[in-house]
């Protein structure tokens, strides 16, 4: 894991040799050697290995010192040690940040593991043959050589449905993810089941009945996002920003400027293939950079560089995913510029109802909830349409009545690459049956909505944040950025921010949330940015693969399927 932590290497082992902690460090807070890890408490009782950043460290430090404890470093790592000594597992409710950590209590002889509520930072575990192992990467666990590489059909089915592997599954039977917002104890009696301490659904549900007058809603959003961006600037190194031509990253840049850094460097990717089209982010991003007085770095990525980087990209990919290339190249550009930390606008659509699905899914559920309730109607309709070949170029159409009448089902229709009944043809009938029995796609989506977020917008925000964002966007952002030694921070993905905005969530109409975000900086975003049609942070992978593999003029769909197959084949070998 050297790429994730190029600044230092540390190991610690217990006196009896039964526990070993290792750590690779990317130094962001307190750059001195005194903050290296694994870190041992002054009394020798607690030892921590930790990945992440705690953005409210100054406040927590003051609380710890007020209770008479001496802190010798300026790192968030030591603050975590003291908090655990004072509060145990209850400390988790006080943390604002992204984190995955393990703390050993040498007196009680037990290990504590925890992961942040959004699952921004990864934590993988394995409990096999009397040995408990954990790491930030699946590949790190496999590298030990003691774990089987037998495929978990549930993880494989998840990849074919979503384009990524959903927690707690991985591609391997011997390895699982500690779920987001959970903690776990391990002691001489074995491994306890993971226990939840905070969830997205719980945060939204707690605020669902809070009435907020319409005139107050933009101000609530403005204060909350400004507070989050300011908190995410905590660092002893320069913090840059990944800048597209969209509202989310533009607002983050504007709020960074409000927070006061004297120098802000913004990085934008461009591709010759997009020149002169709406997909070219560079011209409007340059306008944004000028608007907020940022130094603008425009990095051109060519097809040749894509092909040269592809082996390293696939090797760095920890779990198979159909995404991640854009983060790979923008993080590469950040590293070339000498940065170690960058902010991203990731999460704005999930937080503020920016996706079309926030409007489409409720309409679909409303139209189909009654006919979908007829026993067997959806399955029968799907079988007849598939048998008669009536789906044509719309393979999800046969599943419309089967899934469209509920929020989990309609969300599955919206986000799935393949519906569950298609997996038999892809994986084989028996492997698909085994995988789907354990994966249970609809049941897991229903579980994401417990407790009920209380509104249509809240339900979709919860589903998007707990699935597409968590297992694809956030996971890809982590491994692709850390492969270049870049810590990617997401101020719009923050549980404290979500709790502040949650009372407004039920009232977010088409464009209102993003309009409030655009107006959040003291100097609002320029009108061309606000009025620009949403295009996404794209990369011409389909065109490059189509040209190379199928010849000019072929459909990108075939190239996309071959890309998915290539990613999976590489992961399996």
At residue 126, φ and ψ (nearest 5 deg) are -150, 130
For tokens 């307190």, what's the residue? 30
C-alpha to C-alpha distance for 22 and 280, rounded to whole angstroms: 43
Q: What's the N-to-C CA distance of the chain in angstroms?
A: 19
For residue 550, pLDDT over 50 is answered with no
**Would you call 21 helix, strand, or coil by DSSP?**
strand
Six token digits for residue 208: 């669902």
Task: Identify the pLDDT of residue 535.
Answer: 65
C-alpha to C-alpha distance for 271 and 275, rounded to whole angstroms: 7
Task: Identify the pLDDT of residue 100.
Answer: 98
Question: pLDDT-based confidence at 551, cuts 50/70/90?
Answer: very low
Q: How far is CA 216 from CA 213, 504, 506, in A?
A: 6, 9, 14
**Lowest-confidence segment of 25-34, 391-400, 497-506 by average pLDDT:** 391-400
Note the pTM of the prediction, 2 decimals: 0.95
Six token digits for residue 517: 């975000």
For residue 547, pLDDT over 70 is answered with no
Task: Identify the pLDDT of residue 371.
Answer: 82
Task: Identify the pLDDT of residue 129.
Answer: 87
Question: pLDDT-based confidence at 539, cuts 50/70/90?
Answer: confident
For residue 448, pLDDT over 80 is answered with yes
For residue 457, pLDDT over 90 is answered with yes
- Would you give the distance in Å from CA 15 to the centre of its chain? 37
Task: Identify the pLDDT of residue 245.
Answer: 92
For residue 166, pLDDT over 60 is answered with yes
Question: pLDDT-based confidence at 561, cuts 50/70/90?
Answer: confident
Q: How far is CA 28 from CA 23, 315, 328, 370, in A?
A: 15, 26, 20, 54
Paired sense of beta strands 239-242 and 182-187, if any: unpaired
Task: Identify the pLDDT of residue 397.
Answer: 79
When mean pLDDT is compared over 205-214, 271-280, 396-405, 421-430, the highest value belongs to: 421-430
Q: Is residue 331 a contact partner of residue 488, using CB atoms and an 8 Å limit?
A: yes
Complete domains list, the chain, with CATH: 8-198 (3.60.20.10), 201-353+459-539 (3.40.50.620), 357-447 (no CATH), 540-573 (no CATH)
What tens digit of pLDDT does each residue of 133-154 get? 999 999 999 999 999 999 999 9
**Lowest-confidence segment of 70-84, 267-281, 320-334, 549-563 by average pLDDT:** 549-563
Question: Average pLDDT, whole number, for the chain?
Answer: 93
Q: Is residue 197 a contact partner of residue 93, using CB atoms and an 8 Å limit?
A: yes
Averaged pLDDT for residues 285-298: 97
Sheet containing 176-177: order of strands? 131-135, 124-128, 176-177
What tens digit of pLDDT does each residue of 222-250 get? 999 999 999 999 999 999 999 999 999 99
Question: pLDDT-based confidence at 324, cuts 50/70/90?
Answer: very high
């Amino acid at each position: 894991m050297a790429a994730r932590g190029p600044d230092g290497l540390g190991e610690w082992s217990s006196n009896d040799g039964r526990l070993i902690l290792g750590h690779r460090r990317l130094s962001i807070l307190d750059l001195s050697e005194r903050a290296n890890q694994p870190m041992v408490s002054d009394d020798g009782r607690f030892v921590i290995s930790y990945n992440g950043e705690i953005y409210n460290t100054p406040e927590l430090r003051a609380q710890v010192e007020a209770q008479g404890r001496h802190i010798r470093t300026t790192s968030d790592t030591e603050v975590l040690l003291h908090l655990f000594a004072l509060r145990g597992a209850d400390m988790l409710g006080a943390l604002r940040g992204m984190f995955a950590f393990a703390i050993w209590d040498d007196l009680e002889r037990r290990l504590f593991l925890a992961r942040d509520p959004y699952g921004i930072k990864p934590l993988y575990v394995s409990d096999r043959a009397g040995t408990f192992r954990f790491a930030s990467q699946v590949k790190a666990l496999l590298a030990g050589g003691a774990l089987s590489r037998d495929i978990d059909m549930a993880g494989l089915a998840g990849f074919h449905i979503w384009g990524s592997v959903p927690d707690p599954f991985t591609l391997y039977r011997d390895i699982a993810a500690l779920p987001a917002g959970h903690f776990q104890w391990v002691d001489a009696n074995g491994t306890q089941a993971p226990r939840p301490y905070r969830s997205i659904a719980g945060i939204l549900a707690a605020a669902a009945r809070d009435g907020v007058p319409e005139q107050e809603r933009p101000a609530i959003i403005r204060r909350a996002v400004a507070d989050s961006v300011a908190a995410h600037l905590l660092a002893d190194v320069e913090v840059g920003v990944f800048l597209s031509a969209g509202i989310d990253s533009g607002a983050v840049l504007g709020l960074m400027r409000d927070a006061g850094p004297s120098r802000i460097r913004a990085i934008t990717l461009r591709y010759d293939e997009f020149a002169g089209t709406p997909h070219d982010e560079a011209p409007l991003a340059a306008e944004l950079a000028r608007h907020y007085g940022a130094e603008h770095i425009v990095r051109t990525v060519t097809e040749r560089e894509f092909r040269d980087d592809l082996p390293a990209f696939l090797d760095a990919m920890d779990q198979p995913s159909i995404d991640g290339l854009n983060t790979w190249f923008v993080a590469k550009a950040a590293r070339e510029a000498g940065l170690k930390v960058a902010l991203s606008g990731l999460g704005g659509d999930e937080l503020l109802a920016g996706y079309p699905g926030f409007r489409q899914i409720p309409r679909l559920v409303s139209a189909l909830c009654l006919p979908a309730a007829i026993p067997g109607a959806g399955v029968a309709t799907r079988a007849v349409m598939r048998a008669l070949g009536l789906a044509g170029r719309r393979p999800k159409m046969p599943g419309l009545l089967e899934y469209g009448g509920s929020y989990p089902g309609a969300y599955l229709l919206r986000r799935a690459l393949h519906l569950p009944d298609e997996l038999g043809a892809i994986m084989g009938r028996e492997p698909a049956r085994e995988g789907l029995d354990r994966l249970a796609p609809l049941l897991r989506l229903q579980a994401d909505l417990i407790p009920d977020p209380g509104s249509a917008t809240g339900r979709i925000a919860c589903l998007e944040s707990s699935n597409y964002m968590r297992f694809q966007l956030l996971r890809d952002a982590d491994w692709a950025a850390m492969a270049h030694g870049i810590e990617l921070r997401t101020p719009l993905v923050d549980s404290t921010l979500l709790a502040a905005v949650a009372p407004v969530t039920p009232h977010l109409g088409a464009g209102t949330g993003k309009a409030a975000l655009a107006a959040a900086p003291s100097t609002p975003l320029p009108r061309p940015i606000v009025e620009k049609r949403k295009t996404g942070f794209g990369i011409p992978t389909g065109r490059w693969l189509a040209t190379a593999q199928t010849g000019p003029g072929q459909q990108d769909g075939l190239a996309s399927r071959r890309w998915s197959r290539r990613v999976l084949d590489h992961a399996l070998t």
